[in-house]
Structure 1
Amino acid sequence: MSSAKRILLIIGGGIAAYKCLDLIRRLRERGHSVRAVMTKAAHHFVTPLSVGALTNERVLTDLFDLDEEREIGHIRLARDSDLIVVAPATADLIARMAGGHADDLATAVLLATEKPVVLAPAMNPAMWRNPATRRNVAQLKADGVRIIGPAVGEMAERGEAGPGRLVEVPELIAAIEGAFEAGASRGGVLEGRHVIITSGPTHEPIDPIRYLANRSSGKQGFELATAAAELGARVTLITGPVSLSEPAGVEIVRIKTAAEMLEAVKAALPADIAVFAAAVADWRVETIQTEKIKKSEKTGAPTLSLTENPDILKMIARPGPERPRLVIGFAAETQNVLTHAQAKLKSKRADWIVANDVSPSSGVMGGENNTVHLITASGVESWPEMSKAKVARKLMERAAEQLHAKRTAAE
C-alpha cells in the first residue's frame, strides 16, 4: 500500500494469537499504524507487554478503564481507525459479534464502529462446522464483515485436522489491503454487471464411495469472485467440492460433477463476463456402480470405461444470444504452457485464456501464489508471480476495461 492506514487489531483468545505478533511487525513495516485491543482470554496466549512493544502503543483491554472511558474510549477507537481486524476470531467472539453483544471492550468497539471489519476465524474444526457457528458467520457476512479463512490443516490438539487454522500472515495482510482497495472502489467499475465464475474440481463418481478428481483447491476462483464483488458486480460462483470460506456478497452454487456445473452455468445466464477457472474433469465413468466395487483376487483390477465430459467453456463460448460479452478460460498445463493455451484460445472460441504452469514444482495447486500468462487475440502478456488475490484483482479490472472498450466501440 502506498498510503499508511490506521488499523485496530482485536486479538481473540486462541493459540493462534501468537501470529498477531508477526502480523503487527509486518503491518508496521508497510507503513501502517496499529493499535491493539486484547480480550481477557487473549492474555493466556500473548502478553500485553509483547503486543505493546511491537505496536509502540498502549494495549487496551478493559471496557471500564478509568482513563480511557473518561473520553468514551470505545467510541473513539471505533471511529479513529481506518479498518478493524479481528484475529484470531474464536467461536465465542464470533457468536457475540453476530448477536450484537457489547459486554467487553472488543465487542463494544465492534458494535460502535462504522468502519470496515476483517475477521479471521480460528477454532477447532468441529466448532467451525457446528451449525451455530455457520449461522453466526452467515450473519456477519450479511452485515458486511469481510471473512478470511479459516485455513485447513493440523490443529493444536493432537491428531486433529481440518478447517479451523488461522490463515498465514501474508494471506491476512493481502485481505487487509484488499479491504482498503475495496473501500476505495465501492460502487466500482463492474457496478451493474453480472459475472459468472466457476471454481474448484469436479468429482466424477465411480461407485458410492469412489470418484475421479484432481488437486484443485478452488482458491483462484474464490479470489476472482471476491475481486469481482469488490468491484461492484453481481457474482454467481459455481464451485465444485472445496474447503474454503464463502466470499462475502456472492451467490454460491455448489455442484459435484461436470454435468451439474454445466447446468448451473446455463441456469445462471445471461451474464456480462464468464470466467471458467474450475479444473473440470475431462472424463467420467460411463457406468456408475450402485454398490462399492469389491477387491477380488479372482477377477483382479476392475476395468473402468470412460466417456468424455461436456466441454463447458466451448459450449458457453459458442456464438449465440446468451453468450457472455467476455468469456475467459483457464489453461492449467504442465508443459508447453503457451503453445497449449494459444491452441485452446482458438479451439474453444474464448476471448481470453489465462494460462499457468501447475506442475508439482510450481506450487500453484493449493498454494497462495500464481504466475499467469494472459492470452488474447493480440498476443501473450506474462504477469510476474503474485498472490492469487492480486491475480484476481488485476484480471477483473482488465475485464472491466474490456467491457468498457467494447461499449465505447459500439457507440
Structure 2
Amino acid sequence: MRNPLSKTVVDIKPSGIRKFFDIVSEMKDAISLGVGEPDFDTPWHIREEGIYSLEKGKTFYTSNAGLKELKIEICNYLKRRFDLEYDYNKETLITVGGSEAIDIALRAMLEPGDEVLIPQPCYVSYHPCTILAGGVPVVIELKGENEFKLTKEQLLESITDKTKVLILAYPNNPTGAIMNYDDLKAIVDVIIDKDIIVISDEIYSELTYGSKHVSIASFPGMKERTIVINGFSKSYAMTGWRLGYAVGPAIVIEQMTKIHQFAIMCAPTTSQYAGIEAVKNGDVDVEFMRDAYDKRRRYVIHALRNMGLECFEPFGAFYVFPCIKSLGMTSEEFATKLLQEEKVAVVPGTAFGDCGEGYLRISYAYSIENLKIALERIERFVTKYKK
C-alpha cells in the first residue's frame, strides 16, 4: 500500500500547549495554568440568546459569510471601540473562531514560496498554517529587553524581495506584550514602503490594562493592506462557541469567503445569534472580566518577582512570560519537573518558537484561589532548584 500521508503534514510538530494539557487532565490534584481559556462562564444574556435561537427553530444554514445582523453589529462594534470602518456586506466574514480566519487568510493570499514574517514568541498556529498554505515562514526573534515588541530595525532586517505578509499579533500570546500607537507608527512606513500585507490578530484587543488597544488598520494607508482577525472566545468567554471574524479589503475577503464556503459552509448558527447579543450588549461583561484579570495579573507578577523570577510587566491578554534562565534548566525541563514534582502545569516558552527558550507561559485566566495554590507550589519548586 502506498503511503497515504502528506509529508508536509507529517513534518509539522503537534502543538506544544496540548502536550501538558493532556498530561494534567489525567493527574489527580494537579492545577493547570497552561490553557488560554477564560474561567468565566459565557455571560447569561449571551447564552440566553443562543438558547432562544434554538427554541425558535433557528437551526438553518446561514449565508456563507454569516448572518447579516451579526456582520452589521460587528462593524458597529469596531467603529465604536477602535474607530475602524468596514462594509458589513463586502468586507466582513464570520468564521469558525479566529483560527480559521488566520488559516484562510493565508491560503487566500499566498503563492508557493511567498515569505511570511512571523514575530516570535507567538501563537502556535501561524507557522504551520503558513506552511500548509505553501508559504515560507520567516521568524523574527523578539527580545525580552524590548518587551517582545516588534521594532522597525528587526522588521527591515527580515524583509526580502519574497516577503508578502507580516503577521502581527498584539496583545500577544504568549508574552502579554502590547504595541501602543507610537510602537505601531514606527513600523507603518516600512510596511507601506515595502508593500507588505498585514494579518493583524487582535483576538485579545479588549484585554489591555492601562491603555486602550490601537489597531494597525486605523493608521492612514493601512486599512487597504490589513486583514484584522478577531473573535468572541477571549473577550466574551465564548471559547466553545467557535465564533470569529475577519474584516479587510473586499478583494481578500471575497477569496477567503470562497475557501470558507467550500471547507466549512458557515459558522454555527446558534453561535452567531449569541454573538449578536455579545457585541450589542456585552461591553459591561467585558469590563467586569478585564478588571478581574487585571487583579490576577498584578497578583501573579508580584508573586513571581518575589520568588526571584525576572518578569516584565505584560499589559495585554491574560498571560505572563517569566524568565527561568537563572535556574539553569531548559523551559521543557522546568515545565516537566514542575508538573511531576508539584503538579502544576505551565507551558514551556519553546512551544511558541525557539526564541521562547528560557521562558514559561503562565495563564492567569484562573481564580485567585487556584493561582495562590499554584504559585505557592511554584515558589517551593524554584526555591529547591535555585542556584
* TM-score bracket for this pair, using the shorter chain length: under 0.3
**Structure (1/2) with the larger helix percentage:** 2
TM normalised by structure 2 equals 0.27
Q: Rg larger in 1 or in 2?
A: 1
TM normalised by structure 1 equals 0.26
